[in-house]
Amino acid sequence: MHNQITDVPGVKVGNKEIQQALTGCTAILFEGGAVAGVDVRGSAPGTRETDLLNPVNLVDKVHAICLSGGSAFGLDAASGVMQFLEEEEIGLDVGVAKVPIVPAAVLFDLPYGDPKIRPDKQMGYEAAKAATTERFSTGNYGAGCGATIGKLAGPGFWMKGGLGSASFRLENGVVIGAIVAVNPAGDVRDSSTGEILAGPYRNGKLVDSIKLLEQNYQPTIPVGSNTTIGVIAVNADLTKAEATKVAQMAQDGYARTIYPAHTLFDGDTIFAVATGGDRVPVDVIGGLAAKVMEIAIINAVKSAESIEGIIAHKDLFNKHQSGGNKWL
């Protein structure tokens, strides 16, 4: 067990990023196919192929999911994942070809790094090619490379977000895993203590985003300039409708850690996939999926690294010890 989504049988993950440009993408592969559902709860999503996951629609299995930075431009990375899978002859057999089904979601990471460089088809291909069942890098990698947290106090006070993952094994051998790129408008808190881990950082202190709202603070950030995107995977047997319900329940993991979540400024999206196995009650999978997603979000925050002008959680203690205000 790596305590990552790759602990789920049938799941591979690959990252590709350009650190200088502060952007990247993450390919989550299900080479044997996986039943999938999705829940889009934020008001500014950037997605691809989510309509086909509706239980009333025909296609019932996906072969990968692509999470990407680059705002809507980053949706192009999914084409590279498709290209890789087609070369591997993985996809929906339509007679004349095998068509890989690759839903995708993007987050907004353009303000830092180079906004003219975004995840493209080549980057998506390289992420898929790098996919492994082993431990993968979190924090400033893949779709989390340019992610930031705590935008409600305006530009200049953000903290570093990132990519996170977690897993949980049931006694019957079923594993529930999560991967998430954390880039919210709100702050991120430890769900067990209420402690703010990352958020608006002003005058050497973390600012409570909810208190900003209580003061009738008017956010100055553009709509759609945030978004937390993630995937839940389980080695169990689910229908599309059941996978969709799991994705809905997993959104509780966002709500327990991100304050506020699901805003007009976010495009919060969760995919849920089932790679096959025993039948497990949906409420068991969904309830635990929310918990695993909480842990993955906290992992993203705690594994993120500071970049120029944006401090990460792990450096807050060192900064307070050494004094000064070099990050602002």
pLDDT tens digit sequence for 153-182: 887 889 999 999 999 999 999 999 999 999
Q: What is the pLDDT of residue 215?
A: 84
Would the pTM of this model clear 0.75, i.e. be above it? yes
Q: Which residues contact 244 (CB under 8 A, 6 or more apart)?
A: 37, 38, 39, 53, 54, 55, 272
pLDDT at position 65 is: 98
Closest CA to 1 of 119, 170, 120, 128: 170
Q: What does R_g of the chain's alpha carbons equal in angstroms?
A: 19
**Whole-number pLDDT of residue 326:** 33
Residue 303, H or E segment: helix 282-303
Q: H or E stretch including 148?
A: strand 148-149
Return the structure tokens found at 223: 């709509």
Per-domain boundaries in the chain: 5-322
Q: Decide: helix, strand or coil at residue 109.
A: coil
Give SS3 for 212: helix
Max Cα distance, the chain (Å): 66
Cα(15)–Cα(34) distance, integer angstroms:
20
Q: What is the pLDDT of residues 81-97, one digit of tens each?
A: 999 999 999 999 999 99
Q: What is the pLDDT of residue 220?
A: 64
Q: Is beta strand 92-93 parallel, antiparallel or unpaired with respect to 98-99?
A: antiparallel
What's domain 5-322's architecture? 4-Layer Sandwich (3.60)
CA distances from 95 to 49, 92, 138, 283 (A): 21, 9, 39, 38
Q: Which residue, among 313, 265, 43, has the nearest Cα to 161 in the 3D structure? A: 313
Q: Which residues of the chain have pLDDT under 50?
A: 321-328
Quickly tell me which residue has 């089904």 as its tokens: 101
